Structure 1
Amino acid sequence: MAFEAKDSFPVMRPAVRETYGPADLSREPVFAGGFINFGYWQGIDLTAPLGEAERIRSQQDLYRRVLDAAGPLERRRVLEVGCGLGMGCALALGEYRPAGVTGMDIHPAQLERARQAHAGLLDEAPERLGFVRGAAERMPFADAEFDAVVSVEAAQHFPDLAAFAGETARVLRPGGRVAVASFFTTDGAPARDGELALLLDTYAKGLDIARPVSALTDALTASGFAGARAESIGHRVWAGWDAWLSRLWAADTWPRNFLRAYERRILDYYVVTAHRP
């Protein structure tokens, strides 16, 4: 049974507190629909004018890509780590027929927005949808409580990937799966941190943390997971994200450097999966 942690989880880093609190990233037009992710643009014509419908579809499709990787989910219990406004939780509940979905986030403001956004669902089926405060490094759940753990574009904020992997192993039942989508450096070269800080404000200001994708796969393996693997989906993410950004940001502005970092083989986008034996 989930419990509400009071003082048992780490303090939020200042950049995370501001971005997802007073700044409320979900209000930005670049994140139409409230999903707050870069999108998975397969099947979307990037040569045609992009509108809000295409943008929302891209974000939904990123969730579907991750949920498919964590499946099958029918009649299973699913945890999303870093749920934000809970849009992915609602999508999972509506399309994948799980027994229940729990969204966990460290930020109380995000959880309040999630509860407001999904008040109807929470009233109709409180046993199938819930939102809980907790940190990726210290989850407020019992051992083996979930069949699947997913996380979509949140791991770049997690201070301690080893602790996240350990907690994920703890809350998953034997046979459970984890699927994480996020952006990581392509290797562990010590210069990557500085390179990304020069290119992207999110790294310079400490919102995103530069780490190689192997840091997560190695952490999962060390925590007892089997079959940990990282699949690059950058070819389905970066061009579409940049095409969408071009509607709002000029070519010489820092957000357009995500695509440049990918083209320079500094940064890529991955789906990381593993299962608990």
Structure 2
Amino acid sequence: MNLFYSFFALLVVLLILGIVFYFITARRYQSSDSVANSYDEWTEDGILEFYWGEHIHLGHYGSPPQRKDFITAKLDFVHEMVKWGGLDRLPRGTTLLDVGCGIGGSSRILAQDYGFSVTGVTISPQQVKRAQELTPEGVDANFFVDDAMQLSFPDASFDVVWSVEAGPHMPDKAVFAQELMRVLKPGGILVVADWNQRDERQKPLNFWEKPVMKQLLDQWSHPAFSSIEGFSELLVETGLVEGEVITADWTQATLPSWLDSIWQGIARPQGLVRFGLSGFIKSLREVPTLLLMRLAFGTGLCRFGMFRAVRTNSLEQTSKTVSQQTAQV
């Protein structure tokens, strides 16, 4: 019996130490450098790529969701997003900017399967390096370090702007929206997929949602989540949107991804050998955040938002918007 109590006491101590470690090692957003450093570290050690593959985003499991292989669901997500955005009707050679491209998984599909001329940008130099390594010669996808808050491309550079799950890292959502629309050609299409918080104007966060949301921000270098309604309004406020912003909620279709991502560590124990004890600890500390993500998206605190907008063809409206922005500066 004493042995049992000793073992139980040891477990309690380890649990307490684990909780303390989780909180003191949070990767709070400080600047774009903190985001870049986080992704550099995950890319250099290869753990994220080992478990998540070339696509550092959620998977699409269908509507209603069905059991799928984790990596297959991620591939399906890209194709579903292409169809939802109407990009499958665009001709080969269409120029596309992938904002927050990670290690280039989506960019390569867009170039290889749809014939687009793709430019991928990320804040992480290591992600750019790895994306270049993974891209076969002859695939029309090029990768550069760039800041989505101040894209280095001229106005009206691309036929399509594409972004998946990059928005939570952006400290000023209005500037992010402006940059996405600015680099689109008149008549060009913006397609964005993002993690969103419930609109607090409609239903404020309650006593348990506030600390959960704080951890979702602090643990993965997120300054804030926008709401679907709020980001749609910011896109319209750029003055560069033709008509209305089309939105959709893909929460249910992507929801299985959170538990599936945890299951990868159990189903593929060879990672323990490949990355050693330090890799195991690094992976294990992400489990609470993944569970909090599943809780948040499963209860409606967070939503997976889809956005589609077309840049106005009106040169008069575009010139007026640019003049207004210049005057504000």
Q: TM-score range with shorter-chain normalisation?
A: 0.7 to 0.9
- CA gap 1:142/1:29 in 2 versus in 1, 3 angstroms: closer
Q: Secondary structure at the match of 1:138?
A: coil
Aligned with residue 65 of structure 1, among 52, 61, 80: 80
**How many angstroms apart in 2 are the aligned matches of 1:244 and 1:23?**
15
Indicate the residue corresponding to 2:308 in structure 1. 273
Deviation at 1:163, TM superposition (A): 1.2
Alignment partners' CA distance in 2, 1:217 and 1:259: 24
Query: In the alignment, does 2:256 pair up with 1:239?
Result: yes
The answer (yes or no) to whether the contact 2:36–2:123 under 8 Å persists in 1 is no
Superimposed CA distance per residue, residues 46-80 of structure 1 (whole angstroms, 9 cap, x where no aligned partner): 2xxx6xxx211111122222222151332311110
Q: Is the 8 A contact 2:246 2:308 kept in 1?
A: yes
Native 8 Å contact 1:225 1:275 kept in 2: yes
TM-score (ref. length: structure 2): 0.69
Q: Please say which structure displays the higher CA radius of gyration.
A: 2
CA distance in 2, matches of 1:204, 1:194: 16
**Structure 1 ranges of 4+ moved more than 3 A:** 189-194, 199-202, 246-250
Which segment is superposed worse, 175-184 or 223-232?
223-232
* Paired amino acid for 2:154: A
* Aligned residue number for residue 205 of structure 1: 219
| C-alpha separation in 2, matches of 1:272 and 1:247 | 29
Please give the alpha-carbon distance, in whole angstroms, between the structure 2 residues aligned to 1:35 and 1:193.
Answer: 34
Gapped runs of 5+ residues in structure 1? 1-9
The secondary structure found in structure 2 opposite 1:136 is coil
Task: Work out the CA distance in 2 between the residues paired with 1:11 and 1:200.
Answer: 17
Asked if 1:82 corresponds to 2:100, the answer is yes
* Equivalent pair of 1:30/1:248 in contact (CA under 8 Å): no
In 2, Cα distance between equivalents of 1:61 and 1:215: 27
Change (3 A) 1:32 1:247: closer
Q: Deviation of residue 21 (structure 1)? A: 0.9
Pair 29,136 (structure 1): closer, same or farther in 2 beyond 3 Å: closer
Percent identity between matched residues is: 23
Q: Could you tell me how far 1:221 is from its partner in structure 2?
A: 0.4
> In structure 2, what is the equivalent of residue 225 of structure 1?
241
* SS across alignment from 1:141: coil
Asked whether the equivalents of residues 258 and 290 of structure 2 are also in contact (C-alpha less than 8 Å), the reply is no
Query: Any conservation in 2 of the 1:37–1:59 contact (CA below 8 Å)?
Result: yes
Partner letter of residue 57 of structure 1?
T
The answer to whether 1:20 aligns with 2:39 is yes
Could you tell me how far apart the structure 2 residues matched to 1:13 and 1:195 are?
Answer: 28
Q: Is the 8 A contact 1:188 1:211 kept in 2?
A: no
1:152-167 matches, within 5 Å, as: 152-167=164-179
Maintained 8 Å contact 1:192/1:266: no
Tell me the equivalent position of 1:7: none
Rounded Cα–Cα distance in structure 2 between residues aligned with 1:89 and 1:29: 16
Offset of residue 167 of structure 1: 1.5
Q: Hey, what's the Cα distance between the residues in 2 that align with 1:117 and 1:164?
A: 28
Distance 1:271 1:193, change over 3 A: farther
Corresponding residue for residue 94 of structure 1: 112
Tell me the amino acid that sits aligned with residue 106 of structure 1: I
Which amino acid in the other structure matches residue 33 of structure 1?
Answer: G
Instruction: Work out the number of aligned pairs and report it.
Output: 254
- Kindly provide the amino acid, as one letter, of the partner of residue 60 in structure 1: L
Normalising by the residue count of structure 1, what TM-score does the alignment of the two structures yield? 0.81
